[in-house]
Amino acid sequence: MRSIQQSFSVSYEYPVYFTKGVFEESNDLLKQSLEVREALPKVLFVVDGGVASAHADLISQIQQYAEVHGKVFRMVDAPMIIPGGEACKNDQIHVDRILAAINEHGIDRHSYVVAVGGGAVLDAVGYAASIGHRGIRLIRIPTTVLSQNDSGVGVKNGINAFNKKNFLGSFTVPTAVINDSNFLDTLNIRDWRCGIAEAIKVGLVKDATFFYSIQEHADQLANRDKDLMDQLIYRCAELHIQHIASGDPFEQGSSRPLDFGHWSAHKLEQITEHQLRHGEAVAIGMALDSIYSYLDHHLTQPELLIILSLLRQLGFELYHPSLRDSQLLDGLREFQEHLGGRLTIMLLDAIGSGKEVHRMNSEIIKKSIDVLQDYHNHNSLSA
């Protein structure tokens, strides 16, 4: 037998910027993120339709920015607008439209796709950019709390297929991520709150100090304190980036620690046909897995009550009738299948300390749902 063994490593770097007014003429961040070679780089902008509607002058701002900085890059066409939210991930036609534009305008591997929008749009646009020419440079400009502190600063892209979340996808390291806090001003309260759920998640599994800081300022955050939200986004993004650098960024293993509460959350989104937003489903999923951690003798009751109380204080509903749907437990199998290894679920040993387990007891899950419903109805634990 003969064989050739090959081994190589690749170093990845990308900046995550925090700014205001990314498309103001005097703001150089985007311009500086576009590497200028002998020929001006081509740039295709793809914009979340919901963001374009909320910011009536956004498209004209982008066009004006491109005109002013025409010596640095060339915008190939007017910004493309695609639907925001899960709609852009549920139908591959939107990815196909982006790929058609990439083809039509000769966007190559030294060109750029700039995605402006919430996490779903970033997922869909990033997926299209990653498969066009096997990888076109991607710049993300997240516009929601959730995308600025979590999904938008990572390396994952995906769309939904076969009734499964992110069944089709890729890992693509962006050239840059630019967080513009001005976009948060127009968010409705549900979208403002959803990103806080992901920050709580990171605090619960990685940083107790961060979690208790959110608890201390819960009322101000719920009432849309912009400065506190900026601090929350920065710290959450920082912890997310640290996790990517120190862990398993391309998910070659069978664990995803930052998906605490997500096995049921992803299934709840699908069962409710996305009437539950991602952050709302994650809040329910975290409440469920926190109760499970308590019933399985990991988490203490006082800590459990702190977690449930904080989620409720921020305005999250912690129970949904879809928790009783027979499909819910399919989420465990799909979670395992998605990661390609043995089942690995993150539970809690304590606030700030996650614990991986490789099996979930269906009877304890059902009991956890009962306890969660009772807490929802009576604001007290029945176990």
At 339 the pLDDT is: 67
Q: Are residues 25 and 173 in the same domain?
A: yes
CB contact set of 307 (below 8 Å; sequence gap of 6+)? 200, 204, 286, 287, 290, 351
Q: Which of 149, 169, 186 is the last residue of a domain?
A: 186
CB contact set of 227 (below 8 Å; sequence gap of 6+)? none
We report the CATH number of the domain holding residue 364 as 1.20.1090.10
Q: Is the pLDDT at 75 greater than 60, yes or no? A: yes
Tens digits of residue pLDDT in 325-350: 999 999 888 887 766 678 889 999 99
Tens digits of residue pLDDT in 253-275: 645 667 899 999 999 999 999 89
Q: Are residues 251 and 326 in the same domain?
A: yes
Report percent pLDDT > 70 for the chain.
Answer: 96
DSSP type of residue 185: G
Q: Which of 157, 186, 215 is the last residue of a domain?
A: 186
Q: Are residues 20 and 140 in the same domain?
A: yes
pLDDT band at 35 (very low <50, low <70, confident <90, very high): confident
At 151 the pLDDT is: 87
Q: How many domains does the chain have?
A: 2
Pick the more confident residue, 339 or 199.
Answer: 199
Q: Which of 160, 186, 212 is the last residue of a domain?
A: 186
Domain contains 4: no
Domain contains 204: yes
At 39 the pLDDT is: 77
Q: Are residues 162 and 205 in the same domain?
A: no
CB of 340 closer than 8 Å to CB of 254: yes
Average pLDDT taken over every residue of the chain: 92
Q: Is the pLDDT at 250 greater than 80, yes or no? A: no
CB contact set of 80 (below 8 Å; sequence gap of 6+)? 44, 45, 46, 47, 97, 98, 101
Angle at 241 between CA 239 and CA 246, to 5 degrees: 95
Residue the block writes with tokens 């979208």: 191
In the chain, which residue ranges form alpha helices assigned H by DSSP?
A: 29-33, 49-54, 58-68, 87-90, 93-104, 119-131, 145-149, 189-206, 208-216, 218-222, 226-246, 262-271, 278-295, 301-313, 330-339, 362-378
Q: Are residues 312 and 285 in the same domain?
A: yes
We report the CATH number of the domain holding residue 157 as 3.40.50.1970
Domain contains 280: yes
Q: Model's pTM, two decimal places?
A: 0.91
Task: Give the domain extent around 241.
Answer: 189-378
Tens digits of residue pLDDT in 207-248: 999 999 999 999 999 999 999 999 999 999 999 888 877 766
Q: Are residues 174 and 292 in the same domain?
A: no
